[in-house]
Structures are given as C-alpha cells and as structure tokens.
Structure 1
C-alpha cells in the first residue's frame, strides 16, 4: 500500500502509484552521484542530457496533471520551451531539477490518492501527435505518465553508460 498523510491508497490506485514510483526511482537512480557538469553533458549525437531528461519528465508529468484537473486548457496554461526542455541550462542544477521533480511527484501522488474518479476524461489538446477528437481519462493519462517515465529511464541509462560506464542495473 502507498499512503499520503491522510489517505491510504489500495487496489488500482496503489498499483498505479507503485509502478510510477519504480519508474521514477530508476530515473533518479541513474543520475545519482553526478556533478552538474556531468548532468549537463551530451553523451550521444542527440541533444539529450541526463539533467535535461529529468527536467523534461518533470515538466511533462506536471502538464499531464494539469490536464487531469483542467483539461487541455490546464495543460496549455504553462508554456513549453520546446527547444530547451531536454537540456539543462547553465543556471540550473541537478539538485534543483531533482527537487522540482520531487514536488511534481508529490502532487501527482496526492492527486492519484484523492481524485474522485479515474474515469473522468477530457478531450486531448489539438496536436499532430494526438488522434483528432480523442479523449483520455485520468487513468489513461496516468498509464501514459508511467510509460513515458519508464521510456525516459531507459534513455537515461544509455546516456549514463555513455558518460562513465555506470549502469542502473546489471
């Protein structure tokens, strides 16, 4: 069971939180022991950096939580830096990005524990990567957050191994 200060979460919600928690753990574990300079470093031909992945996953999770609460308008209420979302800026620290991610995770976990209905749904924003006219339930969004976090944890593992040979597992 997963619990917040006032609510014990059971069943499906506990399963969702446990899966998301494991994915978050592996992503955070991948950056453990890194300096800001290492977290900022590109280790492959892509623009991805480990700090940038933390920043992206955190921002994306926060946007999806706003979607669960307020639909497309909530998701779009905070502008996205499409070019900078995968890079760690010179003024950013890994500790700061991880602290922000922890705050986002706490808000998400609280929402999962207290949301009245996981079937509550909103139309997706208009974007080329979404099916026109589709709606997603809160449950579907949470599964998407888990999948995205897991996928980016794998990316992070590749970047970390390219950086210094360290692996998250094995």
Structure 2
C-alpha cells in the first residue's frame, strides 16, 4: 500500500502535508524556467535555482537514509560540495525535478511507516553536539526547515532572473 492509498492522520499527516507544502513552494519557484535560467547565478554565490533543487533532493535523501540506517547509511555516498549547488553539464531542470519527486515520494512512504520516536546517533561533525541523537521526528522537522529556507532562497534568485515573486 502506497502513501497515496493510505489515509494519514494526526502527526504523520501534518508532517507529510507541511513538508509537501514547502516542496511545492520550491517547485513553484522554478515553474516556466529554461535550463539556462535554472542554471544562472544571479548573486555572487554559487547558488542557482537548479542547484537548489538538486541540493534539497540530495539532503532530503541523506537525512532519510539517516532516519532508517543512522550515520553510516547517511554517509554511504560522498557529497559533491563543489557542484552541489549548481547545475553541471548534462543536467536539466526537468531531470532534477524528477529526481526530487522520487526522493519526496520515498520520504512520504517513510513518514507513513517509520517509528517517529526511533532515534539514531548523529554523525561526528563540528555542528552537532557530541553524542547527540535525533529521532525520525526531529529529522523531519529539520527537513521542513531546510526546505522552507531554500524555498526562500529560491524566491530571491527567481526574482533576480525575471522579476517573478513566487512567495509573495
């Protein structure tokens, strides 16, 4: 049974709907753009709209691997920090959006089935408290925050491309 066939209620429904709403804001921001526009840097940073879509998909996938299998699963694939926020040769906006949709569908399935109280020890990193753990719930709240923050970034980048304001 897939999430679309399940009727989620309570906290699981709230988490799925809230994450879905912020994903939608991010996807709305790139609606109607060409690949060239999606790859354009409109600020001094490396950020571009396609790169933000790519980054959010990669990060969501990594955090859900963490939720299921801990730090080792999260770190099982290396991150490409150099190209993680930009579109590279051969990438298209449509392809990045398709990948993001696949990641989102997997996350939604996991929200419906995982024990939200199950916790994993965080990976060793200077930005995490040593020995701390996060529950699946905490991971999902982090994903909502990450997605909404990047949707705001995307809105600024889109406005610089063609004046379109997607968040207001």
TM-score, length basis structure 2: 0.97
Give unpaired runs (5+ residues) of structure 2. none
Cα distance in 1 for partners of 2:161, 2:121 equals 41
Task: Name the counterpart of 2:99.
Answer: 100
Task: Name the counterpart of 2:141.
Answer: 143
Give the paired residue count. Answer: 167
Which string of whole-angstrom CA distances, capped at 9 and with x for unpartnered residues, describes residues 46-67 of structure 1? 1100000000000000000000
Cα distance in 2 for partners of 1:157, 1:149 equals 12
Q: Tell me if the contact between 2:28 and 2:166 (Cα under 8 Å) persists in the aligned partners.
A: yes
**Which SS does the other structure have where 1:132 is aligned?**
coil
Task: Give structure 1 regions of 4+ aligned residues with deviation exceeding 2 angstroms.
Answer: none
Cα distance in 2 for partners of 1:74, 1:113 equals 20
Task: Name the counterpart of 1:156.
Answer: 154
- Alignment of 1:7 onto 2:6: yes
Cα distance in 2 for partners of 1:110, 1:46 equals 34
Cα distance in 2 for partners of 1:127, 1:160 equals 33
TM-score, length basis structure 1: 0.96
Q: CA RMSD in A?
A: 1.0
Task: Name the counterpart of 1:21.
Answer: 20
**Which SS does the other structure have where 1:70 is aligned?**
helix
Q: Shift of residue 137 of structure 1?
A: 0.2
Task: Name the counterpart of 1:70.
Answer: 69
